[in-house]
Every structure is written in structure tokens, then in C-alpha cells.
Amino acid sequence: IAANQAEQHGWHLYLVGGAVRDLLLTDSDQPVMLTDIDLVVDGFHRSADVGAGVELARSLQRLYPDVRLDIHGRFQTAALLWHKDPTFDSLWVDIATARTEFYPYPAANPEVEASSIRQDLYRRDFTINAMALRLTNPRFADTRKGPGELLDFFGGSLDLQAKQIRVLHPNSFIEDPTRIYRAVRFATRLGFEIEPQTERYIRHAIASGIYEQIQDRQVAGRVIAPALQTRLKSELKYILQSSYWKAALNQLAHLGALRCIHPKLELDDELRWQLRSADRWLHRLDRSQLLPSWQLLLEVLIAHLAPDDRASVAQNLQLSADGIDRLVQLEPVRSKLESLSISLSPSQIVQYLKPYELPLLILVAVKSSRAIRKQIWRYLTIWSTVKPPLDGNDLKALGYKPGRQFKQILDDLLSATLDGRVHDRAEAEAYLAQ
Ligand code: CTP
């Protein structure tokens, strides 16, 4: 339908990027579930203010009024969202305009037509992501170039076969350092290798100090979050929420790319252990709905830095206010707990830990001594769930008058239960009678 609309305007439409890669990687008899696709329109719109991509998105929205339309940038890209329904996953369609604005009559001849989409693809990250599938008929009838023709100018399909991640030009990582993270993400996700010359470009970009570009820039105390930071965070999110996060972090560390987060961040054995245990705790406590595990892992990574560096790195990466707060609280809470005597009773430990929420306690636990960690684990799995054998109604039935003392009595009963002095209702009543 989008191709029909484009053809009515005399434009060309291409499927580009990850969807083409994934289609080529999938066996032809397997259905491909695409949830996010990128289209590029090669065409010229008479309005100086609106790109052909935006105009195409608007005509699609006229056909499907329930679809959400967002327009990004001044006039070049549009995103359409088809909402999830029972038979259909939600689908994002990004529509961009190929850079044809230099040509007064775009697609005026086949060379211009090819060069415009070629230029668009050449700006992309890796050969495997720089292929296009033509969705429209070419203006200049050529039976080899109907809809479905694969445009592969840079050897993407060969690299797919050879399982190689290869950049298109030497400056790619200097122009966009987050591509270092993307290279690792695709390599680990697809089981590909980063091609040796591409790896040299990555190392060169890192050696040239490119990571400084991503780190904090403060103007009069205000942290500026440049677009690079946003993209780095979304790459980190992608990696940390995947099943291959451990392999990806190892490869990022091997390339020296964790410097993009902070020059002193190193993936040593201690950090590896902390990441694994935080992940295990979250899953064993079955609370990943409370805090997505990628967020907790990112906080553990940042918590490996010196306490004074944590908040600024967290701000630069635009962590949630809660996340920043946890990283600030971590050190005081941890040292307060470490200073406690290990002979505290369960009720005293509950008293100490009660004010803190689970995500902070997990962060503290993975950064603490074994003794403290054990107490936090017991608190989370046993002591925080204990209830006294009597409740408010029981107290009323025993003749106690409701009021402020109720809470005190119930708290005392809870402590006695936690510390093993009271086990059941009879013992609780006897305890109250003392
Ligand atoms: N792209 C790029 N450089 C970036 C980010 C994206 O060149 N830093 C290009 C690539 O051509 C990529 C396309 O934009 O294929 C779409 O980006 P994105 O949706 O982030 O990635 P996908 O390749 O679609 O991968 P995924 O399946 O993981 O979403």
C-alpha cells in the first residue's frame, strides 16, 4: 500500500536497514515477524517544508486513521505506529527521505535514481545494514529492476554469508562512536565476527579519544545530554536486556569501549561477579517487573566507579531519577550496614532495612561483604514476609481498644515473632499477658 501511494506521487520506495538484513537471514519458508521497519522514499515534494517521507506517512495515515504519526526533525522523517491487536504485534514504520534535495528533478534519470539511494545507504553503519529492497517499480522500465530487487552496493549479502560485521568507511566510528556498541551487539547477537580492519577502525577511534565526545559536558553546572548520550544509553539498554549481554560486555571490554561510559570503567572479575549476582537476585526474587534487569545491570556498572563519579555518569546517561538516587544513596547505606554488628537480631535487621526498596538493597548487597549480603537475602526472602500471629481484629477481640497503641503492640509482636520468642497465637496471647 505504501508502495502504491509512493508510485502515485512518482516516488521510489525502499525497505532498508535491519529488516532487509533479517529477511535475508531468515529461511525463505519461515515467516518473518517484523516489528520495526525502515522505509526510504526517494522523491521530491513540491513543498519546500515537507520531505516526501513525511508526505507519504501523512497519506498512509489518511488511509489508516487509527495509526499514530510522529514527525521527527524539521521535515525529514516520520514514524507510524500500528497498535498491537490480538492478531497482530504492534509495528513501527519509520519513513525517511533519501537525500535528493540537490537534484532539481530527482530521479530524472536512472543514474540519479541509483545514486540517491546509494548515498543514503552509504551513510549507514555496516554493510549488512546497508542494503535496500525496492518496493516500487522503477521509472525506467527494466525487467531486472521490479519490486523485490535487492540493492546491495557494498557487499552486504556476501558479508551476511561470511558472518562479518564490516563498516563502510574508515571514519564511521569517529562520526558515530555508538556504532562501536552496535558492532558488538550485532556480532554477539548474530554470532558474527567483527572483520579485522573494522576492529582496527574501532581501536583507532577509541585511541583517538572519541569517548570524550560522549562524556559529560557541563555548562554552568547544567549537564547537557547530547544526542550521543541518548543513543549510547539505548545501545546499552539493547545489550543489557538481551540474552547475550555477558558476551557483549566482554567484547566491549576487550575493545576498550567501556571507556565511552567512563575512562576508568573496567570489567574486572569483581564487576563480572556483581553483574551476575544482581541479575540472579532479581530473577530469583521474581521482581524483574519492579525494575527491568537492564536498568539494574546498568546501575551495577556505574556503581563500579568511584562514588564521586557515579551521579554525573548516571545523569549523562539519563538514568531515571530513582536510578540516580539509588547510586547516590548506595555508599552511605552500604557503609552504614557494614558498620553494624553481625550479631544483630532479625528484628533489628528488619528495622534497619525496612526503609529501603528492593533495587537499592540488591545494589548494596552485591557491593557488600558476605555477612551483610546474607542478612539482606534473609530479609528479602524470609523476614520481610513474616507477620505476627495476631492482627488488629484479634486485638479487639481480646479487649484492646483501637488506637495508637495498636501499632506499637503489633510491632512488638512482630519483633517477638521474628526473633523466635513467639510462634503461634497461644504464645502471642501469653506474650501480651506478660
Ligand atoms: N543506523 C546507522 N547508524 C546508527 C544507527 C542506525 O547507520 N548509529 C542505520 C542502519 O542502517 C540500521 C538502521 O539505521 O540498519 C536502523 O537502525 P536500528 O533500528 O537502530 O537498527 P536495526 O538495524 O533495525 O537493528 P535492530 O533489528 O536491532 O533494531
Convert the pLDDT of each residue in 81-99 to its tens digit. Answer: 988 666 677 889 999 988 6
How much of the chain, in percent, has pLDDT values that exceed 70? Answer: 87
Residues with CB under 6 A from ligand 1: 17-18, 36, 38, 124-125, 129-130, 176, 178-179, 182
Gap from CA of 230 to ligand 1 centroid (Å): 15
Q: How many CB atoms lie within 10 A of CB 37?
A: 20
Q: Identify which of 131, 124, 102, 112 has the alpha carbon closest to the alpha carbon of residue 14.
A: 131
Q: Identify which of 55, 15, 44 has the alpha carbon closest to the alpha carbon of residue 139.
A: 44
The stretches of 99-143 forming alpha helices (DSSP H) are 110-122
* Confidence tier at 344 by pLDDT (50, 70, 90): confident
CA distance 267 to 276: 12
Mutation choice for ligand 1 from 124, 169, 171, 232, CB with most ligand atoms inside 8 A: 124
Mutation choice for ligand 1 from 38, 133, 260, CB with most ligand atoms inside 8 A: 38
Question: Helix or strand or coil: residue 30?
Answer: coil
CA distance 243 to 238: 10
Mutation choice for ligand 1 from 15, 39, 76, 125, CB with most ligand atoms inside 8 A: 125
Give the closest residue (by CA) to ligand 1 atom 27. 18
Gap from CA of 51 to ligand 1 centroid (Å): 21
Convert the pLDDT of each residue in 146-169 to its tens digit. Answer: 678 999 999 999 999 999 999 999
* Confidence tier at 114 by pLDDT (50, 70, 90): low
How much of the chain, in percent, has pLDDT values that exceed 90? Answer: 58
- Give me the pLDDT at residue 223, please: 46
DSSP 283-300: HHTT-TTTS-HHHHHHHH
Could you give the dihedral angle defined by the CA atoms of residues 194, 197, 198 and 204, in that order, rounded to the nearest 10 degrees? Answer: 130
- Give me the pLDDT at residue 109, please: 42
Which residues, including other chains, have CB under 8 Å from residue 2's CB and lie 6 or more apart? Answer: 13, 39, 56, 60, 93, 95, 135
Which residues, including other chains, have CB under 8 Å from residue 249's CB and lie 6 or more apart? Answer: 239, 258, 267, 275
Convert the pLDDT of each residue in 197-238 to its tens digit. Answer: 999 999 999 998 877 766 655 444 444 446 788 889 999 999
* Confidence tier at 46 by pLDDT (50, 70, 90): low
CA distance 103 to 101: 5
Could you give the dihedral angle defined by the CA atoms of residues 411, 414, 415 and 418, in that order, rounded to the nearest 10 degrees? Answer: -160
Convert the pLDDT of each residue in 404-423 to its tens digit. Answer: 788 888 889 999 999 989 89
Q: What are the residues facing 13 on neighbouring strands?
A: 41
- Give me the pLDDT at residue 142, please: 57
CA distance 156 to 21: 8
Query: What's the Cα-to-Cα distance from 428 to each of 146, 179, 240, 245, 391, rounded to whole Å?
Result: 83, 64, 48, 50, 11
Q: Identify which of 323, 254, 271, 296 has the alpha carbon closest to the alpha carbon of residue 313.
A: 323
- Indicate the range of 32-46, 71-85, 148-162, 168-182 predicted with least confidence: 71-85
Convert the pLDDT of each residue in 16-27 to its tens digit. Answer: 999 999 999 987
Contacts of 305-314 spanning 24+ positions with Cβ under 8 A: 305/262, 305/264, 305/265, 306/264, 307/331, 309/262, 309/264, 312/216, 312/218, 312/223, 313/216, 313/261, 313/262
ipTM score for this prediction = 0.96
Give the closest residue (by CA) to ligand 1 atom 28. 18
Give the closest residue (by CA) to ligand 1 atom 26. 18
